[in-house]
Amino acid sequence: MRAKNYELKPGAQDGITAVKEQDQSTRLSPARRQGKAGAQVAEVSGKALGRMVEAFMKLPGIGRKSAERLAFAVLGMQREEAAGIAQAILDLKNNTRYCTRCNNITEDEVCVICRDEKRDRSRICVVEEPSNILILEKTGSFRGCYHALMGAISPLDGIGPDDLRIDGLMERLKPGGIKEVIIATNPTVKGETTALYLSQLIKPLGIAVSRIAYGLPVGGDIEYADESTVQRALEGRREM
């Protein structure tokens, strides 16, 4: 449909003031900005909504606009559904912990993967974070066990090998029977440093150490790949 061409009558802008000067919010720290965003919402739509916006802004990747959108979404939900989300948050904090063997997320002392007798216990895949285990499991192509280091070596951040769960990994390798350690730390300087450190530590034990492959992402376009990735993809080429 075509809309009518509404013309503002003279004087129709009486109640309208000029665009305000950019306020100083961009100079504030994130925490201050967060408080400010919540305060602004609270001013217009009530304190509870303001607090909800501030709460959502504590989550990673959720900025001011997303937080507002999410807050209004919660507001529009059935009461039970909203209460369900609140309960899920509380349950998550109360019921979960890290597997005493591999540091995976679990609700028991030892995680479901470490307990599974069908898994290949002779291969351990080492990752930085417990969340990485989930990503690898989704591929469905690895049937061994895992070990989360709970971080990566990063001298600049003051994180050395002793700050990671490397002792626990070495304990697991000691009894023997481990054929391979696959290092799946991130393809970053930190992850690479960690991988190198681990390989120097583990190889003397006579255990094969491998590193996940670099290369072009599936579905990616070679035109958009950075030079180092293309270089690694070339180096890692396989016969067809």
**Taking CB under 8 A as the criterion, which residues in 2-61 touch a copy of itself?**
3-6, 8-9, 12, 14-20, 40-41, 43-49, 51-52, 54-56, 58-61
CB neighbours of residue 178 within 10 Å: 20
* Beta bridge mates, 98: 105
Task: List Cβ neighbours of 166 (8 Å cut-off, separation of 6 or more).
Answer: 149, 198, 201
Tokens 């090998």 -> residue: 161
Residue 48 parent element (H or E): helix 47-57
How far apart, in whole angstroms, are the C-alpha atoms of residue 45 and residue 39? 10
Decide if 110 contacts 101 (C-beta within 8 A): yes
C-beta of 166 vs 198, nearer to a copy of itself: 198
How far apart, in whole angstroms, are the C-alpha atoms of residue 102 and residue 98? 8
How do beta strands 180-183 and 105-106 pair?
Answer: unpaired
Shortest Å distance, C-beta 155 to a copy of itself: 12
Candidates 26-34, 102-110, 151-159, 160-168: pick the segment binding a copy of itself (CB under 8 A): 102-110
C-beta of 27 vs 93, nearer to a copy of itself: 93
Shortest Å distance, C-beta 120 to a copy of itself: 4
Decide if 103 contacts 147 (C-beta within 8 A): yes
C-beta of 11 vs 175, nearer to a copy of itself: 11
- Binding string, residues 68-97; x marks residues near a copy of itself by CB under 8 A: xxxxxxxx-x-x-xxxxxxxxxxxxxxxx-
Shortest Å distance, C-beta 222 to a copy of itself: 21
104 lies in the site for a copy of itself, by CB under 8 A: yes
Shortest Å distance, C-beta 158 to a copy of itself: 19
Task: List Cβ neighbours of 122 (8 Å cut-off, separation of 6 or more).
Answer: 144, 177, 178, 179, 180
Shortest Å distance, C-beta 162 to a copy of itself: 21
Candidates 27-35, 100-108, 157-165, 166-174: pick the segment binding a copy of itself (CB under 8 A): 100-108
Handedness of CA 189, 191, 193, 196 (dihedral sign): negative
* Among residues 103, 130, 169, 184, the one that binds a copy of itself under rule CB under 8 A: 130
Q: Which residues inside 170-199 make contact with a copy of itself, applying CB under 8 A?
A: 179-180, 189, 192-193, 195-196, 199
Q: How many residues bind a copy of itself (CB under 8 A)?
A: 98
